[in-house]
């Protein structure tokens, strides 16, 4: 029976070449619209997440500021000063903290090598800072280590833009000695190029990072400009934030409800917002693509109605010879699904070709790399099958309801 259905389909295809080609083209375009919109939406979402996480993944950045509320006889307006020793105590007080780092900053420090000199943002911190801030060293280099901090070594980790501007096309940067504000420092690593949208006090590519112990000894500064922590799990961040606020307030004597004393930038909130936005964006793209596919389904329904009209006498002969209505219904449904399947296959093939060629054009850095996942392909196939089933059911039902005598007279 399947062979007969296929032969019948080929006979109709020869008789209605143009109409069939346009219908398959509409289905292919609708399928490609769904697949490509979802693929580009997913690639764009992943790319934006990578850019957001260039600043750090699920970290909380804190600025000690001034109190705005009086507390236990102390006036408001007091400066909150924190030291690395306070942070060591804080690590013990808040078990939800997995990583914690102080951060000292010196704006527009002078860094020089041979006859070249730059004004850069100088950052001083500890070992855990690199993992929290996604500061990955290029091949052959490293970030700061525990020995650097314990021995107050004069070592520096350079942002890739600084290294490129100082050393030009030099391939061996690690091991060179630069001068920071006139003091020699050994370059131990250069940051691998990364995507970064968000920042504070400048992009990481324009930062030079040294051990915090060296910074304190060199500049005589004890009060940290920032401190950053990362919870063991993103779900622990709300509890960690509350306990950090309470612990610091208890140690430095200010109202725990004073939100201005320690200003907070919680990156997990940005990640949650972006996740919700990305999901809504994907649903919108799916809706747009699905409507395009529905338009193609209308074309399928039209051509099947025409096929029923042109084959009315044939249907009457089959039913007069004993064919049951469900056979006629199944025949037209199978032809519709076969037509839909061909259009869908062409659409999928076109979509995969576009996704394979797109990264070579250099737009992937901005729009991401589109990818077709199995869940996405399955969802598209399900929508395509539903459209084909609905588009073919009503013409097939009309054919199955024909009276044999009336069909033979037409």
pLDDT 10s digits, 34-89: 888 888 888 888 887 778 888 898 899 999 999 999 999 899 999 999 999 999 99
How confident is the model at residue 13, as a pLDDT?
Answer: 62
How confident is the model at residue 225, as a pLDDT?
Answer: 95
Range 83-105 average pLDDT: 95
pLDDT tens for 291-321 read: 878 877 887 787 777 777 777 777 777 777 6
**Higher pLDDT among residues 372 and 249, named by residue:** 249
Residue 265 Ramachandran class (φ > 0 left, ψ -120 to 50 alpha, else beta): beta
pTM for this entry: 0.75
Angle between helices 325-357 and 312-320 (to 10 degrees): 130
Confidence check: pLDDT of 271 > 90: no
What H or E segment, with its residue span, contains residue 179? strand 177-180
What H or E segment, with its residue span, contains residue 117? strand 116-125
Confidence check: pLDDT of 335 > 80: no
How far CA 30 is from CA of 289, 377, 405, in Å, comes to: 7, 14, 40
pLDDT tens for 208-257 read: 999 999 999 999 999 999 999 999 898 999 999 999 999 999 999 999 99
Burial of 393 (0-12, 13-18, 19+ CB in 10 A): middle
How is 281-322 classified by DSSP, letter by letter? Answer: HHHHHHHHHHHHHHHHHHHHHHHHHHHHHHTHHHHHHHHHTT
How confident is the model at residue 256, as a pLDDT?
Answer: 93
**Residue 410 binned pLDDT confidence (cut-offs 50, 70, 90):** low
How confident is the model at residue 113, as a pLDDT?
Answer: 93
Burial of 225 (0-12, 13-18, 19+ CB in 10 A): middle
Torsion angle of C-alpha atoms 317, 322, 325, 329, degrees rounded to 10: -70
Give the bridge partners for 110, in sequence order.
119
Q: If DSSP codes are grouped into helix, strand and coil, which group holds residue 93?
A: helix
């Amino acid at each position: 029976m399947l062979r007969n259905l296929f032969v019948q389909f080929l006979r109709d295809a020869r008789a209605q070449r143009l109409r069939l080609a346009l219908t398959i083209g509409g289905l292919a375009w609708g399928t490609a619209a769904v697949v490509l919109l979802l693929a580009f939406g997913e690639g764009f979402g992943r790319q934006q997440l990578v850019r957001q996480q260039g600043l750090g993944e699920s970290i909380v950045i804190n600025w000690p500021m001034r109190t705005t509320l009086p507390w236990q006889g102390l006036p408001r307006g007091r400066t909150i000063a924190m030291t690395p020793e306070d942070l060591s105590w804080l690590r013990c007080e808040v078990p939800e903290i997995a990583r914690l780092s102080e951060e000292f900053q010196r704006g527009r420090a002078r860094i020089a090598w041979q006859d070249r000199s730059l004004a850069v943002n100088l950052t001083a911190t500890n070992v855990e800072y690199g993992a929290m801030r996604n500061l990955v060293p290029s091949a052959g280099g490293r970030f700061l280590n525990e020995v650097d901090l314990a021995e107050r070594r004069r070592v520096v980790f350079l942002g890739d833009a600084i290294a490129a501007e100082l050393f030009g096309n030099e391939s061996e940067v690690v091991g060179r000695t630069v001068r920071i504000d006139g003091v020699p420092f050994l370059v131990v690593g250069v940051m691998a190029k990364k995507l970064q949208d968000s920042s504070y006090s400048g992009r990481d590519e324009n930062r030079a990072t040294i051990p915090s112990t060296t910074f304190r000894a060199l500049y005589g500064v004890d009060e940290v400009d920032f401190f950053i922590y990362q919870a063991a799990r993103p779900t622990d961040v709300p509890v960690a934030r509350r306990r950090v606020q309470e612990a610091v307030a208890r140690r430095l004597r200010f109202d725990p409800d004073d939100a201005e004393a320690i200003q907070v930038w919680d990156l997990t909130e940005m990640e949650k917002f972006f996740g919700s936005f990305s999901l809504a964006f994907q649903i919108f793209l799916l809706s747009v693509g699905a409507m395009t596919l529905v338009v193609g389904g209308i074309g399928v329904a039209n051509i099947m109605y025409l096929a029923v009209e042109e084959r009315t006498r044939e249907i009457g002969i089959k039913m007069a010879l004993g064919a049951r209505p469900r056979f006629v219904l199944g025949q037209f449904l199978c032809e519709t699904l076969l037509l839909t399947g061909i259009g869908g296959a062409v659409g999928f093939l076109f979509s995969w070709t576009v996704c394979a060629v797109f990264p070579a054009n250099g737009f992937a850095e901005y729009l991401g790399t589109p990818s077709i996942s199995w869940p996405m392909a399955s969802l598209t196939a399900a929508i395509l099958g539903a459209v084909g089933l609905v588009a073919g059911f009503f013409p097939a039902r009309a054919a199955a309801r024909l009276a044999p005598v009336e069909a033979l007279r037409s």
